[in-house]
Amino acid sequence: MSSFPELSKGGTRRFPDSINSHVTRAFANLLYLHTIMDKELASTAATYSTSTGLLASTRKVSHEDRARLALMLESRYMGELPPREAQFNEALRRVITPEEVWWAAYLGRIGYLISRLYPSGKIDESKPRVVLSSE
């Protein structure tokens, strides 16, 4: 959460409240889920993970949160999607606001950075390799 920027000068831009700690915690917990796959397959699996994949049977998760999480995970792998999956990705984007789409992609890229710094997923909090912050 330290990579979330503060309210902009003038107060017109801010991190969306809809991307809450539950969504970001779920993203952090799933960050390494598809790592054994190549990046294109991982991106595809991540795109479907909340609708027909691992999280499909999870109860009490809104369509919007499923879309946010799927877009974050897809962005984390930075692979190209085949045409059919790209269409589904666009459908996910229409479920949430354009601002949330942008932030989901941003958080996905942060996830990619973390996964490159910590390929095994083991993070020693007493000796971090990097400290994320926004200014």
Q: Is the pLDDT of residue 2 over 60?
A: no
Instruction: Indicate the pLDDT class of residue 11, thresholds 50, 70 and 90.
Output: low
Q: What distance in Å separates the CA atoms of residue 42 and residue 120, rounded to the nearest whole number?
A: 16
**110 is a domain residue:** yes
Amino acid 131: pLDDT: 77
Q: Which of 6-15, 16-25, 84-93, 124-133 has the lowest mean pLDDT?
A: 6-15
**7 is a domain residue:** no
Mean pLDDT of the chain: 88
Structure-block tokens of residue 49: 């993970």
**pTM of the predicted structure, to 2 decimals:** 0.85
Amino acid 124: pLDDT: 83
Q: Is the pLDDT of residue 115 over 80?
A: yes
Q: Is the pLDDT of residue 9 over 70?
A: no
Instruction: Indicate the pLDDT class of residue 79, thresholds 50, 70 and 90.
Output: confident
**3 is a domain residue:** no
Q: What distance in Å separates the CA atoms of residue 76 and residue 114, rounded to the nearest whole number?
A: 10
**15 is a domain residue:** no
Q: What distance in Å separates the CA atoms of residue 135 and residue 91, rounded to the nearest whole number?
A: 33
Q: Is the pLDDT of residue 85 over 90?
A: yes
Q: Which of 3-12, 72-81, 102-111, 119-128 has the lowest mean pLDDT?
A: 3-12
Q: Which domain holds residue 47?
A: 21-117
**124 is a domain residue:** no
**131 is a domain residue:** no
Tally of domains within the chain: 1
**127 is a domain residue:** no
**53 is a domain residue:** yes
Q: What is the pLDDT of residues 19-41, one digit of tens each?
A: 999 999 999 999 999 999 998 89
**In degrees to the nearest 10, what's the CA dihedral of 27, 44, 117, 30?**
30
- The CA-based angle 125-127-132, given to 5 degrees, is 70
